[in-house]
Chain A
Amino acid sequence: QSALTQPASVSGSPGQSITISCTGTSSDVGGYNYVSWYQQHPGKAPKVMIYEVSNRPSGVSNRFSGSKSGNTASLTISGLQAEDEADYYCSSPTSSSTYVFGTGTKVTVL
């Protein structure tokens, strides 16, 4: 199975909004509403930020939002803050009853 495709890096100034894309196929992203997004700071375990495409776990800022269109899911961070600088990964189940992660996106706050 191939990793989901994400841009290697995205940057923005404090207060701006950025969007990270996650492109798969109809056998993963496009076939299920179970895309989740994870934030990972250096040396730390990933933390779920969005689940089931657009839902936020308790405690996650409402500056984080998710959506999906066809085979591409997106994570938007609005009101960018210094603490948002991290790596972000999407994940999806597949039609083979396996899971796949995205290639990862490094978010830089300028």
Chain B
Amino acid sequence: QVQLQESGPGLVKPSETLSLTCTVSGGSISNYYWSWIRQPPGKGLEWIGFVYYSGSTSYNPSLRSRVTISVDTSKNQFSLRLTSVTAADTAVYYCARYSGTPPKWFDPWGQGTLVTVSS
């Protein structure tokens, strides 16, 4: 079955750029939306955005000015870039697949990776 795995630095300095990659295994990246979702410690889930396999994107309005999500179909990967980070961006970052056709759900999810913003 399809599995997702997040990778990237666990510590980022304030004002710098957070970069994460999600590797998709066990299936093709084609014909799906690929999403990033985060969860600050002790808080709820926040949808960051998604990229369609063709490259089109949609972002959370509250993060739109700082977020870029891209896809590399040759590597079966998609990536997140979040610029000008602050402590408020400290969170567990999850990648997940979303189907644009029924059944419409976020599934599967990666295990999540904690990113801490600190100097």
> Which A positions have Cβ atoms within 8 angstroms of B?
1, 3, 34, 36, 38, 40, 45-48, 51-52, 55, 57, 89, 91, 93, 96-104
Distance of A109 Cα from B111 Cα, bound (Å) = 26
Q: How far is the CB of B36 from chain A (nearest CB, A)?
A: 11
Distance of A93 Cα from B98 Cα, bound (Å) = 11
Name the CB-closest residue of A to B102: A52
Name the CB-closest residue of A to B110: A45
B side interface size, CB within 8 A: 25
Task: List which B63-105 residues lie within 8 A (CB) of chain A.
Answer: 94, 98, 102-105
> Which residues of chain A have C-beta atoms less than 8 A from B102's C-beta?
52
Task: List which B25-71 residues lie within 8 A (CB) of chain A.
Answer: 35, 37, 44-47, 49-50, 58-62
Given A1-B61, A1-B62, A45-B111, the answer on whether A101 and B105 have CB atoms closer than 8 Å is no
Distance of A40 Cα from B105 Cα, bound (Å) = 15
- From the candidates B45, B59, B105, B110, name the one contacting A89 in the complex (CB within 8 A): B45
> Which residues of chain A have C-beta atoms less than 8 A from B98's C-beta?
99
B106 touches A96 (CB 8 A): no
